[in-house]
């Protein structure tokens, strides 16, 4: 790959309008290993114009033609799979196994699920004498995060293409190289010029220009709730469709009939996956008050079993967090938890022993946490777990729902019917019962300040479609 200082616009690799550059940092070493060009509003104008021009013809392609294109993208992605995994591992510090099996792997899973979705999707139907048909919404701006980068890129770009939209992608400037590689994949697959465009840059410059651009019809954004509010504000004057997947503070309810050892151990591992940098991580663990200390001991054992180290080191299960900014924020929140009276079971502030360089966090478990504490309310985005005791089932549900977020929730119970009843009472977009396998066809998105709209499967496809009624069509 040799396009770090270029953008992909109109089917070509082009020079940026400005001269600004940004280093790409390896979080395991704190050293720069690449440099990217940073875009300007002029680059955005050029990319949007290319997308608008391409939309006129691409919108008229058939669903079958676009499905064939998605299949070619899957083939091209598979050919660059190992390279993608290695690149993501270095960019965000994901351990090798995680990067290969999941970070890169989710791209493949989304493409395969989209193919199944398109094969079964009803693009038009008759309702009396009216024809109901689905059409592409237009030019879309896609703004993606650094934590699961290719996951969020593929689950936006691929359904937008399948819908017949054209697009401009602004990936996170923290992990931008995988997006450049994905642009090469799309080019090799034969995506028509202008259908997909990529401009690197930061949120206040490139992101803002995309959100406010009069020729952009929709913004699909994944990131923090704070940034999501700004996206909506910028998009409002032109009445764009705004699709947002934002922050989370997901509750994990371990009911009194669950296998406590298995449930707590799996809950710790789910919280610490990807170094805790997942918006749907189960970061609030609710346990029966009578078994709080037992749960705490299990959580400590599970946390201390993790091996923290560089992404490329054998045996590493927890890599660094992605940046100095994230490292400092997590340190402050750990200290806040201690100041507010939560008990540190294991971990705490500072780097793990023996690691003097890199953005490494000590896997941390807090016990005796109360719902009013900052660590129980704010999204920490690191390997930090809060354990909260509850009196009974109603108390656990009330505390779980007492959050501005509503992205995901988790329920563990030995009685599946009981778990199902509890799930219906939780105000979250996704509820996971007894740690099920990940499902690419399940809707993903949140309630409340966790956003609006849904991604994955048919929901991800419908997000990029308009519904048209042609009245009198069958007269």
Distances 417 to 260, 412, 414, 424 between C-alpha atoms, Å: 18, 11, 9, 11
Distances 444 to 222, 407, 411 between C-alpha atoms, Å: 12, 8, 17
With beta carbons less than 8 A apart as the criterion, state whether 175 and 88 touch: yes
Exposed / middle / buried, residue 130 (Cβ in 10 Å: 0-12, 13-18, 19+): middle
Work out the number of other CB atoms within 10 angstroms of the CB of residue 31: 11
With beta carbons less than 8 A apart as the criterion, state whether 212 and 230 touch: no
Residue 274's Cβ-side half-sphere holds a number of Cα atoms within 13 Å equal to 22
Catalytic residue among 279, 379, 455, 458: 279
**CA distance linking residue 219 with residue 119, whole number of Å:** 26
Catalytic residue among 245, 379, 455, 458: 245
Residue 59's Cβ-side half-sphere holds a number of Cα atoms within 13 Å equal to 19
Q: Hey, which bits of 179-338 come out as E strands? A: 196-198, 218-222, 241-245, 251-254, 284-288
**CA distance linking residue 440 with residue 387, whole number of Å:** 29
At residue 365, what are phi and psi to the nearest 5 degrees? Answer: -125, 130
407: closest CA among 240, 244, 227? 244
Distances 77 to 68, 81, 102 between C-alpha atoms, Å: 14, 6, 14
**CA distance linking residue 381 with residue 426, whole number of Å:** 22
With tokens 């997909």, the residue in question is 196
With beta carbons less than 8 A apart as the criterion, state whether 253 and 357 touch: no
Residues 6 or more apart in contact with residue 121 via CB below 8 angstroms = 63, 458, 461
The two structure tokens encoding residue 123: 């693009």
Cα distance between the two ends of the chain: 56
361: closest CA among 174, 93, 147? 93
The two structure tokens encoding residue 170: 């602004």
The two structure tokens encoding residue 467: 């519904």
Annotated active-site residue 279? The verdict is: yes
Annotated active-site residue 271? The verdict is: no
Q: Which residues are catalytic?
A: 245, 279
């Amino acid at each position: 790959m040799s396009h770090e200082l270029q953008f992909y616009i109109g089917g070509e690799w082009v020079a940026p309008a400005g001269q600004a550059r940004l280093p790409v940092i390896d979080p395991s070493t704190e050293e720069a290993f690449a440099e990217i060009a940073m875009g300007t509003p002029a680059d955005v104008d050029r990319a949007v114009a290319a997308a608008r021009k391409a939309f006129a013809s691409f919108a008229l392609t058939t669903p079958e033609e676009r499905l064939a294109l998605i299949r070619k993208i899957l083939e091209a992605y598979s050919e660059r799979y190992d390279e993608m995994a290695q690149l993501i591992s270095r960019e965000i510090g994901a351990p090798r196994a995680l990067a290969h099996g999941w970070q890169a792997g989710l791209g493949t899973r989304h493409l395969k699920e989209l193919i199944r979705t398109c094969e079964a999707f009803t693009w038009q139907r008759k309702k009396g004498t009216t024809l109901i048909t689905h059409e592409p919404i237009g030019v879309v701006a896609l703004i993606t995060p650094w934590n699961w980068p290719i996951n969020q890129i593929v689950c936006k770009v691929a359904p937008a293409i399948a819908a017949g939209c054209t697009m401009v992608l602004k990936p996170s400037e923290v992990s931008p190289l995988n997006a450049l590689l994905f642009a090469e994949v799309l080019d090799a697959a034969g995506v028509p010029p202008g259908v997909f465009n990529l401009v690197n840059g930061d949120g206040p410059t490139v992101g803002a220009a995309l959100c406010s651009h009069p020729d952009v019809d929709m913004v699909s954004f994944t990131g923090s709730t704070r940034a999501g509010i700004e996206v909506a504000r910028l998009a409002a004057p032109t009445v764009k469709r705004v699709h947002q997947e934002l922050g989370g503070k997901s509750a994990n309810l371990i009911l009194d009939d669950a296998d406590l050892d298995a449930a707590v151990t799996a809950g710790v591992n789910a919280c610490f996956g990807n170094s805790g940098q997942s918006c749907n991580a189960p970061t609030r663990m609710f346990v029966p008050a009578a078994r709080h200390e037992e749960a705490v001991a299990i959580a400590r054992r599970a946390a201390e079993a993790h091996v923290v180290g560089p992404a490329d080191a054998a045996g590493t299960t927890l890599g660094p967090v992605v940046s100095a900014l994230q490292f400092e924020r997590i340190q402050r929140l750990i200290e806040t938890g201690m100041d507010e009276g939560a008990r540190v079971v294991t971990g705490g502030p500072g780097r793990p022993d023996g690691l003097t360089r890199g953005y490494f966090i000590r896997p941390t478990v807090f016990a005796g946490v109360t719902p009013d504490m900052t660590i129980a309310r704010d999204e920490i985005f690191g390997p930090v777990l809060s354990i909260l005791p509850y009196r009974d089932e109603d108390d656990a549900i009330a505390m779980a729902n007492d959050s501005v977020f509503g992205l995901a929730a988790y329920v563990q119970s030995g009685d599946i019917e009981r778990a199902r009843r509890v799930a219906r009472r939780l105000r979250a977009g996704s509820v996971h019962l007894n740690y099920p396998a990940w499902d690419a066809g399940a809707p993903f998105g949140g309630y409340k300040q966790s956003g609006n709209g849904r991604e994955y499967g048919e929901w991800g496809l419908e997000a990029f479609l308009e519904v048209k009624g042609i009245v009198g069509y069958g007269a």
